[in-house]
Amino acid sequence: MEKKTLFYIGSIVLVAAVALFIVWAVRFLGIQRAEDIAPAETPEERIRRELLAPPQYPLSEGMEQQIKEDLTSPPLHSLTEEEKERIREDLLAPSN
């Protein structure tokens, strides 16, 4: 056989040996994936992290105050009928 052919065969064998060693190391030495070491965050944790993060875009004037009001306002099911009617009228009123 020519030296070039032996070189190519040797290179292929060497790459295969390194790949098999990596597979062996991962399986038998207990190298774990990042998700196994540190569990992935729960949906609640992800939502909390995203809500507490600063905005990724600049807010227009008054928008930040509106967001704060929306977050602190009571949910609709806890409103009285008068408050619900007032909100309904505000929503149905023509915008200027």
Is residue 72 classed as helix, strand or coil in its secondary structure? helix
Task: Classify residue 28: in a domain, yes or no.
Answer: yes
What does the block give as tokens for 27?
């399986």
Residue ranges in the chain modelled with pLDDT below 70: 31-39, 76-77, 95-96
Task: Classify residue 66: in a domain, yes or no.
Answer: no
**Close Cβ partners of 95 (under 8 Å, ≥ 6 residues apart):** none
**Close Cβ partners of 41 (under 8 Å, ≥ 6 residues apart):** 49
Q: Give the structural domain span for 1.
A: 1-36
**What pLDDT, on the 0 to 100 scale, is given for residue 45?**
84
**What pLDDT, on the 0 to 100 scale, is given for residue 1?**
72
What does the block give as tokens for 51?
């809500």
Task: Classify residue 29: in a domain, yes or no.
Answer: yes
Number of structural domains, the chain?
A: 1
